A and B are shown apart, each in its own frame.
Chain A
Amino acid sequence: MRCEEVHRELGPYLDSELSPDLSFEIGEHIQNCRACSERLHSEKKIEKHLQSVILKEDREDLRIWDNAVEKVTGVGQRFRKLRIGYIAAAAALILAVGFSAWHLALQHHELDLARFVAQGHEDYLENRQKPAVETQDPRELGRYFSERLGFPVGFTREFPRGYTLTGGRTCFLHGVPAAFWMARKGDALLSIFSFARHQLAGFPDAAKRSAAESGRFHCQVGDLEFFALVDGEQVISAIGNLRADELEGVILHLAGK
C-alpha cells in the first residue's frame, strides 16, 4: 500500500469505519512508515482540537435545556448544578418561592390544576412562553393542536367581540400535554389550556371538584380568576385578569354552551 492511499483513508481509519482487512493493512503500513505515523498523529491532534472548539459547556444553553426538561417532565434539574456563588441567592429564592407556593397551596389546595395553569399564564405574561403559531383563526390553531396532541382540540364558536386570539403552542401542565391558547381582551392577557378529558385524573383535586360541580368550576389564584369546563372529550381551563363572570362567559361561549 502506498502512502497516498493511506492518507486518503486516514479519516475513516481514525473513525474505525474501515473493513477489518483494510484497517489491518493501513495499521501495518503505519507501523513501518514513520512519515505516515507522524501524519496520523497530527491528524488526530487536529481533529481533537476541532472537536474541542465546537464542544463547549455554555451555561446559558444548559440553563435553557434544564428549564425545558423541567417544563416537560415536571422534574427539577437546575438544583443539581448550582455553584457555590449562587447558593445564597438560590436559597433566598427557594424560600420566597416556597413561601409563595405554601401560601398559594393554603388558599387553593383544592385546585391543583389552577396552580399549574397559573404558572403557565405567568410564563406567558413574562414572555417566557411565546406562541409557536401566530394566528387569529381558532380553527387553524385547533387543527395544529389536534395534529400534534392526537385528540380533537378546538372551539365551537369564534372568540366573542372584544377578545383577540394571538396564537398558541403546545405545552405540558404538570406533565400533561396541553394546547395553550393565547388571547387578550384589551390589555388583559387571557390564557386558555385545553387537554384530553382522561388526563383530568392527573389533577386529583380538580377532578373531584369537576365531579361535584358537573364539570364546571372556578376559583381565584391571587388576583386572577380561574375557570374550567369539561367539554366533550376535552377540558378547557382558563385564567386571566378578568371578572369571574366574564371569564366563565367567554369559555362557555367558545364551547357553544
Chain B
Amino acid sequence: MEKAHGAKGGGLSAGEKKSFVERMNSVRIPVTNYCRHLLWRRGDLEDALQEILTTAYEKYPQFEPGTSFRAWIFRIATYTVFNINRKYKRESERFVPMESEGPEVHPFIEQELSYQEILKDPDRILAHVGEEILAALSKLSANERAVFLLRGLADLSYREIAGILDMPLGSVMGYLGRARGKLRRSLTDYACQHGMISRMGLV
C-alpha cells in the first residue's frame, strides 16, 4: 500500500466532499462488518473505522474515477486492520493454526458422507446455525478469513482480492477453498453433535 502523501483530503471541494460521503454511505455495512470479523479485538473497532476514514479522506484525491471504489476502500480497510492486529501477533499465533499446518481441507469435504447428507436438505441444518459459523470464522487463519470476507462481504473478484492482499491468484483460490471447507465442516460438526445426522448419514 502506498503511503499517505500529506493530507490532501483537507482540501476537498464541496462537490468532492459530497461524493466522498455518498461513496462511504454505499459501503458502510460491508466495511463495518468486514472490520468486525477481521479484527482480533472488538474493542479496536472504533479506532479502526476512524483510521480507515481518515486515510480514505486524505487519499480520496488520488482515487481514480472509473476504477473500483469497493476495491479501493477495502484495500485501505485491510491494511488498517492488519496493522492493528499486528499488535496482538504473538497472541493470535497461539490460537490460530499456522497456514501451513495440517492437511489441506478439501474445498467441499465431499469425502464425508455426512456433508453429502447436509447437501440433500441444507435448510434442515441452516435453520439452526449462526453462532457456530461465527465461531468457525474466528478460527480461520488471517488470510483465509480475509479472502473469504473480501469475497463474501465485499463481492470482489479473485483478481481484486489478490491485489489487495498482495498474493498470487492461485493462493486466493486456495485460501478461499480452505475457508469454505472449514466453515462447511462446522455445519457438519454441529449437525452431528446435535444428533441431526450421524457421521455416516442422516439419523
Contacts and interface: CB of A to CB of B under 8 A. Distances in A.
Interface of A: 4, 7-8, 10-12, 15, 17, 38-39, 42-43, 45-47, 49-51, 53-58, 61-62, 64-66, 68-69, 71-75, 77, 130, 132, 148-151, 170-172, 175-177, 196, 199, 202
A150 B6 contact: yes
B54 interface: yes
B interface majority secondary structure: helix
B33 A68 contact: no
Contact of B158 (A15, A46, A171, A175): A15
Nearest to B54: A72
Nearest to A40: B119
12 contacts: A11-B180, A46-B184, A47-B152, A50-B152, A51-B152, A54-B137, A54-B153, A58-B32, A72-B9, A72-B53, A75-B21, A175-B10
A7 B10 contact: no
B72 interface: no
B54 A149 contact: no
The listed residue with most A CB atoms (<10 A of its CB), out of B36, B58, B118, B123, is: B58
B7 A150 contact: yes
B157 interface: yes
Contact of A77 (B17, B21, B123, B130): B21
A interface majority secondary structure: helix
Contacts of B58: 177
A90 to B, nearest CB: 19
A12 to B, nearest CB: 7
Contact of A54 (B25, B110, B119, B152): B152
Given A53-B130, A172-B54, A65 B6 contact: no
B67 interface: no
Interface in B68-84: none
Nearest to B126: A49
Contact of B126 (A38, A45, A148): A45
